[in-house]
Amino acid sequence: MRSTKVLLLNLFLLGVFLLVAYYFWFPAIWHCQTVRFGNFTEYPGGLYVSNDATATQRDSLTQSITRSRQRIREFWGNQVGDSSIIFCHDKPSYSKFALMDEGPGCSLGTPTGSWIVLNPDGLNVDVISHEMCHDELFTRLGWFKTKNSVPQWFDEGLALMVDYRFTNPDTTRRHLDYLDEWMLMTHHGSDGMELTDIRTVKGFFGGDRHYINKAYLTAGLEVSRWLSVVGTNGLHNLLRAVRHGESFDTAYQRLEKTNHQVAEAPKLQAGK
């Protein structure tokens, strides 16, 4: 009897220790997972809004979310990501939920759930669509594949395809717009960066604001170029290939090559 009590006590202490350790190791995820117990109001669809948000912010948020979902459906065909969205009324409360203090919003994907966290600067369709696009890729590929197979430049570049802060929405001009911006920022490429430099999260965000903006432009330039060759079908084929075990780099290059060959194949002449 005494040994059972000791065992239960030890299990209880172990549980408390693990909870405390989890809180200190993953504070942002802890706050996301316990948001319903904080100073937030829950709305249908997994939306949590700070009780200190103004009525104007709430209206702007719901309108922007509706328009972002539409933008995601137009780009992906449909929306399968359904992460919770947390709106913080100021930067200090946002910093508890986000992995980085900077920026208007972020998305967190874990094996146990995913969240989009926004601060007042993120109350617009570009930011919300960008974060939803990260969640879309994450949901379609799963946590392990997204974290281990997909380069950060591709994840960010893809998110820029629904985020028009760098370019205008005209998809036929998107790659040229990125090229113009990139030429300007890198002094015609003399101050450019390689995709291998921004393959990891650390490489992508490991610099000052100018470096990070250049990383975004480089990612947008590459993904817009690739998509102009393979189209949306190519994107879905890429994800399918990675899900089935092909390496990202192999599938990415293979699909581009195949599409080039199709585009360059001689057309049959009518009547021959």
Residues that bind Zn ion in the complex, under the rule CB under 5 A: 156, 159
Query: Is the Cβ of residue 136 or residue 156 nearer to Zn ion in the bound state?
Result: 156
Residue number, 53 or 217, with CB nearest to Zn ion: 217
Contact between 239 and 180 under an 8 Å Cβ cutoff? The reply is no
**Cβ pair 161, 224 in contact under 8 A:** yes
97 close to 122: Cβ distance less than 8 angstroms: no
The tally of CA atoms less than 13 A away on the side-chain side of residue 50 is 19
- Nearest approach, Cβ of residue 134 and Zn ion (Å): 6
Quote the CA–CA distance of 152 and 198 in Å, as a whole number: 7
Query: 3-state secondary structure string, 153-188?
Result: HHHHHHHHCCCCCCCCCCCCCHHHHHHHHHHHHCCC
Query: 169 is written with which tokens?
Result: 């929405």
By beta-carbon proximity to Zn ion, the closer residue of 159 and 162 is 159
61 or 159: CB nearest Zn ion: 159
| CB of 175 vs Zn ion, minimal distance in Å | 19
In whole angstroms, the minimum distance from the beta carbon of 152 to Zn ion comes to: 9
Shortest Cβ distance from residue 12 to Zn ion (Å)? Answer: 41
Nearer to Zn ion by Cβ, of 126 and 156: the residue is 156
Instruction: In angstroms, give the least distance from the CB of 216 to Zn ion.
Output: 8
Nearest residue to Zn ion by CB is: 159
Distance, CA of 218 to CA of 180 (rounded, Å): 11
Name the strand (E) or helix (H) holding 49: strand 47-50
Q: How far is the CB of 223 from Zn ion (least distance, A)?
A: 12
**Contact assessment for residue 86 and residue 40, using Cβ atoms and an 8 Å cutoff:** yes
Query: By C-beta, is 40 or 151 nearer to Zn ion?
Result: 151
Alpha-carbon 176 to chain mean position: 23
